[in-house]
Structure 1
């Protein structure tokens, strides 16, 4: 038996080495040296994407949005609508990722598919959208998690609410925990991401069975599938439904972030695109399975909206189980998902910062664009992401609706970051993805255009406040945060980027092959060497 095991091990090892070597060679053809260990499997990347979306957690922390803007119809059917759209966007990105599997992700894709004259500015704009989106989605996950942790106290004392200082300190604690896991548990990320899948699935099943079995009373099927009431929002009914879609759109944003893990996967051209699409499909089903039982056992809506903590899900669990202890037990399952989500989002953010910095696009690139050989991670990119998010949390002192702003700007920035490479692909006649191993075929144009229309609509939609009337504290400051980062990006471009940033080491006007490799398609416009196009290291 031992001899058989040794023979099997010896026969699979060369194959793994060959796959890793091919991936490193493909990365080299795109102008980069492999510096991170390829230790992640497709299941791990799927788990990470699933963790970042964190369906039960994301839907729980933003439930007040859809309850304000339409109640059951917005909660359930809004989720279904956004799931279909997100699946289309994920498929569009997967098609591109199969051709250009690099940690630069959407930023690299925009540069690669654009013409030579536009590659530089396309990569700069897309990269900043993606970077800010990565930072703010991590911020929103961990900040919402802090609010959810503190809301557990209100299960026993419903009149209690945390002070701004208590909330921010708890948020910083969550940021520190996820940072330490990323720094010193990098070798276990593959295992952590896989555990996330099982934890989430088990949590959804436990919650489903418990609330349906123990709830003292249940709503009717008509309420769950057809009840619509937007009176609490102040918006006209039709518009309230769309504003309420922020709950679903925010939850379903993490699938594109895993592109930044391409350089840590053995066969990224095949595995990462599959993980993107499969994670959205799994999230869509998980959301429906989670939401329907919750809607059946909802207590009085106004009682939930008046929750002092601003997080009603604990009260839903308390009402369903009939006890504070039972409510906390179910809430604990959601808090476990928080740790997976916060860790995964910070992992993706650190890799995104690292990839963008190594091409000289952010201040301090000589540090942030490097990896730590001992830990096997981009340590400075991790520190940068943690510090930026921790500082942004201070917005809460000026606005009690800061979480709305964080979710809104994360959704807007990530949507724009996803949309720009899709737009470039469409404008170039989709010729750069015509041989993708994850091709959308004859429906590619239609799917891409539907995605772009939704993204354009979402940018406007998610800048609106959840309800009227608007005060300084209830204002949605997503547009302000967005404008602030836009000023930093534009300012840094004119200070340094205009002269020194040349974008990623792009191979222009390439023809992708069936294997996902790329070759020069035009000797007149083809390869410009990495030494010419890559920016100088550091400032």
Structure 2
């Protein structure tokens, strides 16, 4: 099938799901994989949250916690990919929750999941760019160990990072395909360079027994077993954004095939990359007390400086991580803006008529990008009131996205997995086991990530994730009762099986019929036969 007919088939399929195609389909599977890979940004995410695992278990939590969460994340990604293959739209999990529900429950389930997804997208972008701003400022401490950025310096640097990401998304959107692909090569090269540099320049190396078997939770105050689970926040925060790329379905050719593959492969790639990054760090790990007492709260720069023996060497390695940061920030804002656009076009956000507009000259949801950027910049001001409250956004992002992934998976299980029986990415006989395992993990994760990193708890060390989460939940609930309860009906065709069948979106029917239609149109007038299901 030619590129034109592939695009046409995807557009027809989208129309049958109730939406008009407004965004150019210029992203490949490799590009979407790169976008997901960029959002997770394993070396960057693991660097900025290293203090968590050094407090809650050290080497065992770092290495085996990462392996455990990687395996669970692959299971979640596979569960989402199975559904995405049937309903490939920018609405992502929000749309899937409606399609999988009964007609009566579709509006409320899609509304709840939509707000979870939207808040998760915004706070992931916020967490990435704010911690990135902190990491940039921490580079100064490589030369001046007593330097600690004040609130204004931190906020201004955060805003600068957000501005760069927004400008790239607005004015250089046609290069996003290239940017996402370059991210893969930059990250791989960075990990190899860091691995080789650390292992060759280190004067002192830890033993294999330490790297793979040392456990010390004395810094945490938690019981040893519970400290390990609390420490999983580092891995869970990093391996979070893979589901966000479902929002790119309307910019990809053959999204029912390419996006599901990208979702799963990106998690596998991030898991392998993270392991190759963490193992050498554990082998050359300086004294833990030294790293945890660093003034700026970001130990990775000091680790690089200590191992290389110079501030310049430390900054050289840190620069590679900062490059990954920019890819992550750009990618996260891309996904967040598409999520905003998709949710707004169904009337679920106050002021939706503005946020759903697509700029025809730039071919981007311009106001969706602007809203996402403004929300994050304003939320950053919370840092003036409490750094502890702001740091909880990391937990909120993880909680919201994990819960948003769990909603359609849970509905799918409750309804007997009927909607995904003919999915082109079917989990087959292992579907129930994989789905139920992921649901159990998500429930546990929501509890875990409301816990403080260490005990005893003070006002400055308290984890305010549950408070911030409740705040966003209150806003969405208020909007539901004021407006959405009477006006919001959910995505188009959010009804029972009969309604979906009439619309041609049942178990991939839209995609299949659309491909046939586009193929016939491109080859000239021929007799068309009816078909049901995937060929």
> Do 1:399 and 1:474's aligned partners in 2 also have CA atoms closer than 8 Å?
no
> Do 2:301 and 2:314's aligned partners in 1 also have CA atoms closer than 8 Å?
yes
Cα distance between partner residues in 2 of 1:222 and 1:516: 55
Cα distance between partner residues in 1 of 2:379 and 2:289: 31
Which of the residues 331, 352, 362 maps onto 1:344? Answer: 331
Cα distance between partner residues in 2 of 1:92 and 1:348: 20
Cα distance between partner residues in 1 of 2:361 and 2:511: 31
Deviations 1:235-273 (A, max 9, x none): 111111000000000000011000000000011000000
Q: Which residue does 1:536 correspond to in 2?
A: none
Cα distance between partner residues in 2 of 1:170 and 1:259: 30
| SS across alignment from 2:86 | coil
Q: Which residue does 1:278 correspond to in 2?
A: 265
Q: Which residue does 1:304 correspond to in 2?
A: 291
Q: Could you tell me how far 1:400 is from its partner in structure 2?
A: 2.5
Which of the residues 406, 413, 432 maps onto 2:419? Answer: 432
Q: Could you tell me how far 1:443 is from its partner in structure 2?
A: 0.4
Cα distance between partner residues in 2 of 1:491 and 1:183: 32
Q: 1:427 to 1:341 in 2, by over 3 A?
A: same
Q: Which residue does 1:134 correspond to in 2?
A: 121
Q: Are residue 73 (structure 1) and residue 68 (structure 2) matched?
A: no
Q: Are residue 469 (structure 1) and residue 459 (structure 2) matched?
A: no
Q: Are residue 41 (structure 1) and residue 59 (structure 2) matched?
A: no
Q: Are residue 60 (structure 1) and residue 47 (structure 2) matched?
A: yes
Cα distance between partner residues in 1 of 2:428 and 2:59: 36
Which of the residues 390, 410, 415 maps onto 2:397? Answer: 410
Q: Could you tell me how far 1:396 is from its partner in structure 2?
A: 1.4
Q: Could you tell me how far 1:472 is from its partner in structure 2?
A: 1.4
TM-score scaled by length of structure 2: 0.93
> Do 1:354 and 1:370's aligned partners in 2 also have CA atoms closer than 8 Å?
yes
Cα distance between partner residues in 1 of 2:373 and 2:230: 30
Q: Could you tell me how far 1:438 is from its partner in structure 2?
A: 0.1
Deviations 1:384-407 (A, max 9, x none): 100111111112122223453011
Q: Are residue 123 (structure 1) and residue 117 (structure 2) matched?
A: no
Q: Are residue 482 (structure 1) and residue 469 (structure 2) matched?
A: yes
Which of the residues 75, 79, 84 maps onto 1:92? Answer: 79
Pairing 1:454-533 to 2, within 5 Å after superposition: 454-506=441-493, 508-509=496-497, 510=500, 512-513=506-507, 517=511
Q: Which residue does 1:5 correspond to in 2?
A: none
Which of the residues 283, 299, 305 maps onto 1:318? Answer: 305
Cα distance between partner residues in 1 of 2:384 and 2:486: 38
Q: 1:465 to 1:516 in 2, by over 3 A?
A: farther
Deviations 1:19-75 (A, max 9, x none): 111100110010000000000000000000000000000000000000010000000
Q: Which residue does 1:28 correspond to in 2?
A: 15
Which of the residues 335, 347, 370 maps onto 1:383? Answer: 370
Cα distance between partner residues in 1 of 2:151 and 2:457: 20
Cα distance between partner residues in 1 of 2:384 and 2:284: 34
Which of the residues 263, 285, 293 maps onto 2:250? Answer: 263
Q: Which residue does 1:209 correspond to in 2?
A: 196
Q: Which residue does 1:537 correspond to in 2?
A: none
Pairing 1:117-266 to 2, within 5 Å after superposition: 117-266=104-253
Q: Which residue does 1:526 correspond to in 2?
A: none
> Do 1:140 and 1:407's aligned partners in 2 also have CA atoms closer than 8 Å?
yes
Unaligned runs of 5+ in 2: 514-535
Q: Which residue does 2:318 correspond to in 1?
A: 331
TM-score scaled by length of structure 1: 0.93
Q: Which residue does 2:520 correspond to in 1?
A: none
Unaligned runs of 5+ in 1: 1-13, 520-539
| RCO comparison, higher one (Cα < 8 Å, 6+) | 2
Cα distance between partner residues in 1 of 2:457 and 2:248: 40
Q: Which residue does 1:15 correspond to in 2?
A: 2
Q: 1:515 to 1:287 in 2, by over 3 A?
A: farther
4+ runs deviating over 6 angstroms:
none
Cα distance between partner residues in 2 of 1:335 and 1:517: 40
Cα distance between partner residues in 2 of 1:28 and 1:362: 22
Cα distance between partner residues in 2 of 1:232 and 1:172: 34
Q: 1:254 to 1:420 in 2, by over 3 A?
A: same
Q: Could you tell me how far 1:159 is from its partner in structure 2?
A: 1.5
Cα distance between partner residues in 2 of 1:226 and 1:513: 47
> Do 1:102 and 1:263's aligned partners in 2 also have CA atoms closer than 8 Å?
yes
Cα distance between partner residues in 2 of 1:216 and 1:201: 25
Cα distance between partner residues in 2 of 1:492 and 1:402: 24
> Do 1:437 and 1:515's aligned partners in 2 also have CA atoms closer than 8 Å?
no
| SS across alignment from 1:124 | helix
Q: Could you tell me how far 1:518 is from its partner in structure 2?
A: 7.9
Cα distance between partner residues in 2 of 1:177 and 1:375: 17
Deviations 1:289-327 (A, max 9, x none): 000000011101010000101000001100111111000
Q: Could you tell me how far 1:196 is from its partner in structure 2?
A: 0.2
Q: Could you tell me how far 1:370 is from its partner in structure 2?
A: 1.3
